[in-house]
Amino acid sequence: MQQSPLQVKKKPLDGLFTALAVLFFLGGFYLIDSMFLAAEAWYVRFGVVLVALLLAAGCLWLTGYRSKILSLFKGARIEWRKLHWPTKDEAVKATLMVLAIVAVFAIFLSIIDWFLALIIRGIM
């Protein structure tokens, strides 16, 4: 029986490195909001998160998940090439449509709020 190319081959220390990756990932985000780094500048906290993410990625790279990670990045690159950016005219039309819909809903909700306030004043 042939294995699919994305099946993970288990290595003896996969569990340890996966746990370390999760620990680094969560620990980096915990540290930036903890009392240790709360008073530091934004770029120091950003650096801590970046180092933690790199350590987590490095730990996952040592596991059998390397082929899945590479496949994810290859798929993301392929999808990025398919991306269609709207023209200026399309962006303006879409923005105006969103603003019009928001205005209509704001007016509608204001009328409902006014009507419900009249009912509550009438009951009291």
Q: Can you give 43-64 as a three-state secondary structure string?
A: HHHHHHHHHHHHHHHHHHHCCC
Q: What is the pLDDT of residue 15?
A: 85
Residue scoring higher pLDDT (8 or 80): 80
pLDDT band at 119 (very low <50, low <70, confident <90, very high): very high
Q: What is the mean pLDDT of the chain?
A: 87
Average pLDDT over residues 27-34: 82
Residue scoring higher pLDDT (112 or 1): 112
Residue scoring higher pLDDT (85 or 98): 98
Do 17 and 59 form a contact (C-beta atoms < 8 A)? Answer: yes
Q: Which 3 state secondary structure label does DSSP give 40?
A: coil
What is the Cα–Cα distance from 109 to 10, expressed in whole angstroms?
Answer: 56
Return the ∠ at Cα 40 (arms to 52 and 31), rounded to 5°. Answer: 35
Q: Is the pLDDT of residue 57 over 60?
A: yes
Q: What is the DSSP letter of 38?
A: T
Do 66 and 7 form a contact (C-beta atoms < 8 A)? Answer: no
Q: What is the pLDDT of residue 3?
A: 53
